[in-house]
Amino acid sequence: MKLLIRNLSRSLTEEDLEALFAPYGEVAECTLVMDEKTGGSKGFGFVEMPGPGNGKAAMKSLNATEIAGQVIRVKRAQEK
């Protein structure tokens, strides 16, 4: 299950994001979307978890929680 995480603190790293989701199961991929001009985070990213149950548990537990001073939003990513 691929999750979209919005409203992330710009100081959060991919390692921080992976550590946040790891307690809910295996994290296959973790990517922050970066600004090409500044090289900094755009404040959102994606986490892919192979187990759909793990992804749902992470989504339910982490959505609307405060992480690094920001209330994050976690939802299932739309397939292109």
Q: Which of 3, 5, 4, 1 is nearest to 67 (CA)?
A: 5
- Domain holding 20, by residue range, is 2-76
CATH number assigned to the domain comprising residue 20: 3.30.70.330
Per-residue pLDDT of the chain (80 residues; tens, 9 = 90+): 999 999 999 999 999 999 999 999 999 999 999 999 999 999 999 999 998 899 999 999 999 999 999 999 999 998 76
Q: What is the pLDDT of residue 2?
A: 96
| Chain centroid, CA 32 distance in Å | 8
Classify the phi-psi angles of 20: left when phi > 0, otherwise alpha if psi is within -120 to 50, otherwise beta: alpha
Number of domains present in the structure of the chain: 1
